Each structure stands twice: as structure tokens, then as C-alpha cells.
Amino acid sequence: MTRGSWKTLILGPYSGPMNGKRIVLGVTGGIAAYKSPDLVRRLVERGAQVQVVMTSGAREFVTPLTFQAVSGREVRSELWDSAAEAAMSHIELARWADLVLVAPATADFLAQLSHGLAGSLLGTLCLATAAPVAVAPAMNQQMWANPATAANVALLRARGVQVLGPGVGSQACGETGEGRMLEPVALADAAMALLPVQGPLAGHRVLITAGPTRERIDPVRFISNRSSGKMGYAVAQAARELGAEVTLVSGPVNLCTPPGVRRIDVETAQQMNDAVEAEVAAAQVFIATAAVADYRPSNPASLKIKKVTDSLDLRMERTVDILHAVAQRANRPYVVGFAAETNDVELHARAKLERKNLDLIAVNEVGDCKGFDRDDNQVVVLWHNGGRQELGEGSKTVLARRLMALIAERYLAARS
Ligand code: CTP
């Protein structure tokens, strides 16, 4: 990345995390096919190009015109379609794909695929492609539980086919159980995680802490803080979008793991530190977004504390400063810290940058309804020798992308 190019990266039009990726979406004949046009939309809104390939069974449930309208491409169906073959042969289509995703995948299609049958266009594509193949099974729960289906699925898994779901719940047939196709958003996220990622951070490992920690007072109570983890999760997603291998050490939060990100769940500051210590040697970039408790109860009670006294003193002791410890390591990664300040924001943040021996610090002002547990944020990034960049205002997702682009640029420049 050349100097200043992060501005192009962050200020230019952002076409989505699947930017330009080419997906062949196979649709087979199950009732869940009614959700597949929505899946096309979710993939397209993430920036993917989608070529729909329908089996004849699928056409009984949804018309090709529906898929053409949402994908912007004529649907392929027949192996023996000379006009379509002349435009792009099935072998070219198999080469074109970055991913073949079959959703819904019926029991019949899974059986065909496990036997390598190539009597349909979709079956042929699955055999002829070098791209990853993923299936999203959808069928009656008895059909899913049938040993024949189970054996086919086991064989497909063993051959490297990704099996996404199925989910559990009520089914179109009136029964309840395992066999529902995953929802389009979950499938689009899963598809994203399967795509090979390219970008300036491809081949680089980024370790991120996120969320709050919980420090135990007794078996039923703890001390924590208002961090939602949203910023850390958005930073993890942004790092992944730039091609990095991302490990997220997360305190207790109510958020989905960003696609393609490896997540390690922890609860206390000590557990977070242990997880970071185990992972940090392999990381080239460390980003501490977690709101780690600075103190924890010195002697957590082993039994529930009963309210038998009028007052209660809680003696606290310092926790380990994870960020500082990483920055002190002999072979330290590129280290980025966060600061949340209520006053003299940049003054305090610069002091923290020096004190903790960081490469970069991202600062936001908190209090007066700013910062915590919100979707939007305002961030300034500081580095040594007066370096300063405002990232402007925006949602945490947008700011995280801007921040990650800046981190990538400064980290890569520091290496060269
Ligand atoms: N941090 C950490 N481990 C801790 C405490 C903080 O890794 N035990 C990291 C946070 O993830 C964040 C940065 O350090 O990146 C915040 O610094 P911190 O000293 O916690 O900020 P304040 O608590 O605001 O510090 P002070 O009391 O000095 O204002």
C-alpha cells in the first residue's frame, strides 16, 4: 500500500466485503427455495456477483424470472442449452466461480453429489469447479435423520464440501426438528467466510481483544462495565475484510462472530490475559479494544454473600494490564490501544501512548451519551511525533473500516 492510499481505501466508494466475488448459487427443488431470492439479495448487497443455476425441481417452486430480477443475470438451468453454452460453457462457468453454494440442497441433490453424478448442469458444475463447494441442506427432519442422508453428508464432509446447517425449528411439512435451511443472512455470512480473502493484510495475523470482562465477587455476582464489544467486533470484521487472519479474544457480549474470524471466549481479565499470552507470539498486529477491568475483588467469596450486615466493604486489587504487557514483549507485534476519555481527551491519550509504549492509539470521548453501548462513535487516532488523524463520525462499522485501513497502512509502512 502506498502512502496516503488508506484515504482512497476508506473514503472511496465501498462496494461491500464480498466485492466482486463470483458465486454460483445452485437452487434445488425444495420449499426452502422461496428464501433463495433473498439470499441472492444478501450476497449482492455484500458486493458479490451471483449466477443462479436452478434444477428442474427448483423451477417448480420459484420462477427463473425472480432470480434474474434479483441477480441481474439470466438463470442457467439445462446442461443441453446450446445458446447459453455458446455464451459461457459449463466448464467456463465452473472456472468463473470463486464459490459454488447450493441452497437449498435437497436430500436427492446431496445423494447425487456424494456419488459424483453429473447428469444435471448443477451436478456437473460441482464436479468441474476448483472453487470451494458449500451446501445448505433443507428437508423434512426424518429425511435429514435417515442413515442414507447421514452417510451421504458424512462423505461430502470428508471430501471437503462445506455443510452449512441445517437449522432446527418448525418445518413447512408441519413437523419440528433439524432440517430447516439456514436463514439467508446467516448463509451469506457463512459464504463470505468460505471465500478466499485478498487484501493488504493477507498472510498477516491480527489479534484483537473485545468486550468487557467480569470479575467475580461471589458465585452469583460480578463487577463489569458497559462495553458492548461492538467496536472490537467491527474492527475484527474490518481486519478480516483486509485479508488478515483474525483471532478475537472476547469477553461476554451479545454479538455474532464476524464471518471468517476465530473467536476465543473468556470472562475475566486474567483469562483474557492468558488467552492473549497463548496467541500473541503468532500475531503481527495486536489491537486492544477490550474494556478490561482495572481492578478485581481480592478475595471472591466461594459461597453467595448474604445481606447480614448494613454495609459491605469490597477489597480490590489491580488486574494485569494486557496491552502494556504485550507492548513490553521482546518480539512485540505492532501494538494498537484504545482510550476512552471524558476530558482533555487527546492530552490523556498521548500520555497513554507513551506510557504504554504503543504504536498507535485510537481515542474516543465518552460520557454525555457518547461512546459506550452505541452504534456510532467518533474517533481520533494518534501516534508518535505528533501524528494525528481524525476518522470523522460514523457508525462503528464505518469507523472500524477507516481505522483498520489506517492501521494496515502504518503497520505495513513500519515493516518496510
Ligand atoms: N487495557 C488492557 N488491560 C487492562 C486495562 C486496559 O489491555 N487491564 C487496554 C484496553 O483494551 C485499552 C487500553 O488499555 O486499549 C485502555 O487503557 P486504560 O489504561 O485501561 O485506560 P483507562 O482505564 O481509561 O486508564 P486511566 O485510568 O489511566 O485513564
Q: pLDDT tens, 84-135?
A: 888 889 999 999 999 999 999 999 999 999 999 999 999 999 999 999 999 9
- Which residues sit with their C-beta closer than 6 Å to ligand 1? 209, 269, 288-290, 292, 294, 319, 321-323, 337-340, 352
Q: What is the pLDDT of residue 368?
A: 64
With a cut of 50, say whether residue 139 has pLDDT above it. Answer: yes
Q: pLDDT tens, 181-191?
A: 999 999 999 99
Lowest mean per-residue pLDDT among 158-162, 187-191, 206-210, 351-355: 158-162
Q: Which atom in ligand 1 lies closest to the alpha carbon of residue 289?
A: 11
Q: What is the pLDDT of residue 376?
A: 65
Q: Which atom in ligand 1 lies closest to the alpha carbon of residue 293?
A: 8
Lowest mean per-residue pLDDT among 211-215, 224-228, 327-331, 376-380: 376-380
pTM above 0.85, yes or no: no
Q: What is the pLDDT of residue 20?
A: 86
Q: Which atom in ligand 1 lies closest to the alpha carbon of residue 348?
A: 29
Query: What's the average model confidence in pLDDT over 314-342?
Result: 96
With a cut of 70, say whether residue 13 has pLDDT above it. Answer: no
Q: How far is the CA of 160 from the centre of ligand 1 (A)?
A: 43
Q: How far is the CA of 193 from the centre of ligand 1 (A)?
A: 31
Domains and CATH numbers, the chain: 19-194 (3.40.50.1950), 205-301+313-415 (3.40.50.10300)
Ligand 1: residue of 268, 316, 323 to mutate (most ligand atoms within 8 A of CB) is: 323
Q: Which atom in ligand 1 lies closest to the alpha carbon of residue 320?
A: 8
With a cut of 60, say whether residue 192 has pLDDT above it. Answer: yes
Query: What's the average model confidence in pLDDT over 248-269?
Result: 92
Residue 179: pLDDT band with limits 50, 70, 90: very high
Query: What's the average model confidence in pLDDT over 22-30?
Result: 97
Lowest mean per-residue pLDDT among 48-62, 84-98, 398-412: 84-98
Q: What is the pLDDT of residue 313?
A: 94
Q: How far is the CA of 256 from the centre of ligand 1 (A)?
A: 24
With a cut of 70, say whether residue 77 has pLDDT above it. Answer: yes
Query: What's the average model confidence in pLDDT over 293-306?
Result: 97
Ligand 1: residue of 233, 286, 294 to mutate (most ligand atoms within 8 A of CB) is: 294
Nearest CA to ligand 1 atom 14: 323
Distance CA 215, CA 9 (A): 40
Nearest CA to ligand 1 atom 21: 339
Ligand 1: residue of 321, 355, 356, 372 to mutate (most ligand atoms within 8 A of CB) is: 321
